[in-house]
């Protein structure tokens, strides 16, 4: 299928061309802020400051299904559970006199990240939310008062008189 035929199919499915352009640019420029890409494609500052206006659209969902299908994500995630990495080891009694071999060992960092993501996707792991401060930092004077408090409610020492 040619690119032109593919574009016609996407338009028939309801994909807006400008959203398709933003999507493709975001894949080409991983790490580049989506808002910046949106501005480059002619979106207003107000819309670009809220990328979810685009990422939560039906067009974006259709593009995700085409370019990053769920089956690919699941297969890659499944592979991450068995991830290995290759390391070099020196065999022999002395490190300087042995031979260098390469062996595969479990990549625990990747496996744990995959496990964590699996729990998040299944709703079993949530981000910690501080309901007391609503996620905001406490003012420094208040923190100092809390940490320096030693059980006394007075800050001045009282001297006894004879």
**% of the chain beyond a pLDDT of 90:** 23
Lowest mean pLDDT among 25-39, 65-79, 141-155: 141-155
Selection from 99, 64, 105 nearest residue 87 by Cα: 105
Q: Is the pLDDT of residue 113 over 80?
A: yes
The DSSP letter of residue 51 is T
Tokens of 48: 């670009």
Q: What is the mean pLDDT of residues 95-106?
A: 78
Higher pLDDT, 15 or 12: 15
Cβ-based neighbours of 27, under 8 Å, separated by 6 or more: 67
Residue 36 has pLDDT above 90, yes or no: yes
For residues 114 and 45, give the distance between their C-alpha atoms in angstroms, rounded to a whole number: 36
Poorest-confidence range of 37-46, 57-66, 91-100, 146-155?
Answer: 146-155
Measured in Å, how far apart are the chain's first and last C-alpha atoms? 101
Q: Of 16-20, 56-60, 92-96, give the lowest mean pLDDT range.
A: 92-96
The pLDDT assigned to 145 comes to 76
Handedness of CA 36, 40, 45, 47 (dihedral sign): negative
Whether 110 and 83 have beta carbons less than 8 Å apart is answered as: yes
pTM, two decimals, is 0.51
Residue range 14-40: average pLDDT? 90
Q: Is residue 63 a contact partner of residue 23, using CB atoms and an 8 Å limit? A: yes
Distance of alpha carbon 47 from alpha carbon 45, whole angstroms: 6
How far, in Å, CA of 63 to CA of 69, rounded?
Answer: 9
16 pLDDT tier (thresholds 50, 70, 90): confident
pLDDT at residue 93 tops 70: no
């Amino acid at each position: 299928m040619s690119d032109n035929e593919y574009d016609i199919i996407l338009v028939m499915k309801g994909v807006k061309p400008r959203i398709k352009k933003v999507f493709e640019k975001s894949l080409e420029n991983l790490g580049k802020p989506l808002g910046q890409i949106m501005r480059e494609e002619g979106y207003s500052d107000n819309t670009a400051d809220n990328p979810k206006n685009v990422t939560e659209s039906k067009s974006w969902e259709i593009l995700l299904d085409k370019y990053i299908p769920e089956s690919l994500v699941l297969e890659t995630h499944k592979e991450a559970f068995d991830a290995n990495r290759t390391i070099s080891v020196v065999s022999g009694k002395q490190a300087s006199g042995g031979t260098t071999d390469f062996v595969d060992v479990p990549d625990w960092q990747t496996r744990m990240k995959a496990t964590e993501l699996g729990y998040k996707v299944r709703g079993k792991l949530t981000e910690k939310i501080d309901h007391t401060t609503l996620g905001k930092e406490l003012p420094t004077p208040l923190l100092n008062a809390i940490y320096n408090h030693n059980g006394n409610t007075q800050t001045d020492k009282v001297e006894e008189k004879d």
